[in-house]
Structure formats: C-alpha cells, structure tokens
Amino acid sequence: MELTEAIRQRRSTREYSKEPIDKQYIIDMIECARLAPSAANRQPWYFVVLENEKKNKVAQIMQAQLNATTHVLDSKDSATHAYNATSSVKGSIQVIEQTPILILVFRERKEDWLEGDYLSIGCAVEHMCLKATELGLGTLWIRDVVYTRDKIAEAIGYNTMELVTGLAVGKSIEYPYERHKKGLDEIMTWL
C-alpha cells in the first residue's frame, strides 16, 4: 500500500472482533515504531504487548477508577474543548475489553526531556498505526490510560517507567466515516 493511501485510509476504530492477531503483525508494527525519528535520537520508548488477562486487567483498573471518581476527569480540557473525559474513558474501556491486543507505550522517567520525548513517542505510535492500516488491522490510540497510569504500570511490573499511551490493535469490524479534518486554509500560512 502506498504511504499516502495508508494515511488516507487510517481511522480510529472502536469495534473489534475477538479474532487473534498474527504475532508477526504486531512485531512488524513495533519494528516500524523502532525506526521512528526521536529528539536527540533518544528513542525514549518501550512497548509492552498485552493480551487476555493482562489486557483485561488494564480495563478493570480503569473501570475501578471510574467507579471511584465523582468529579469529571480532566475538567480543564472539558471546559475548553467540550470534551468529556469520563465518557471517553468509558468508551476506551469497552475497546480494551474487545480488542485482542493492547500495546502500552512507556517512556523512561527523565523530566528534562519531557516534551521532546512525548513528540518522539507520538511519531513512533503513528508509525505503528500506519503499518497496521497497511496490514488491514484497526487501531485506537488510547491516551485514557494516563488517568490510572501508575496503577497500570504497577500491575504489569513496569512502574520504573512512565506510561504515556496505549494502542488497541485488532481486526476492526467497522470502517468509520472520515472524521472532520480542518482544511489546509485553516491550518497553514506560507510567509
């Protein structure tokens, strides 16, 4: 598949079949992440692939936190972007329960490299999303894991690192419409 075609076809998908995924596909995706650019070539990422009970444990931790939460999560964002993190977390839990694979992406704890490392990890995750598209797999980037990042990291034994994001991967049973994207005229100026 041409790169531009993969970019055009990629969607965040939230409905997955339980069909197991060929292990080699996940390795191929992480191989693409490995080749991503990174600030100062720090390659600050670490990938943990979860299936079955380990994956479901993540959903359980998120659900327990949600049950114990009385306020709206991330209220600053909610006010400015009409974004309701609580309902997003609910949806993300459902996806984690459905999907056969959840990849958790960690960064080593080095505060002076915070911003560069996050940008680098974003590149790596997008490489995985595009490779998955090429392989005919669906993905959902799940930042919602950050609300329970320490508990999740501890539960799977990686609490020396910071959990940055999750990526659900599986055979998608939906192909969503293309979400609204801003036009070029709205996002760029050529001076």
Ligand X SMILES: Cc1cc2nc3c(=O)[nH]c(=O)nc-3n(C[C@H](O)[C@H](O)[C@H](O)COP(=O)(O)O)c2cc1C
Q: Buried b / exposed e across 122-142, counting CB within 10 Å, b at 16+? A: eebbbbbbbbbbbbebbbbbb
Binding window for ligand X (CB under 6 A); candidates: 37-45, 46-54, 101-109, 139-147: 139-147
**130 contacts 40 by C-beta, under 8 angstroms:** no
Which of 42, 54, 90, 143 binds ligand X (CB under 6 A)? It is 143
Examine residue 141 and tell whether it contacts ligand X (CB under 6 A).
yes
Exposed e or buried b per residue across 13-41, where buried means at least 16 C-beta atoms within 10 angstroms of its C-beta: bbbbeeeebeeebbeebbebbeebebbee
Asked if 99 touches ligand X (CB under 6 A), the answer is no
- 92 makes contact with ligand X (CB under 6 A): yes
Nearer to ligand X, 137 or 142 (CB): 142
Contacts of ligand X in 20-79 (CB under 6 A): none
Q: Single out the residue of 20, 37, 91, 136 in contact with ligand X (rule: CB under 6 A).
A: 91
Identity of the residue, 76 or 179, whose beta carbon is nearer to ligand X in the bound complex: 179
> Burial level of 50, CB count in 10 A (0-12/13-18/19+)?
buried
Q: Which residues of this protein are in contact with ligand X, per CB under 6 A? A: 11-12, 88, 91-92, 140-144, 179
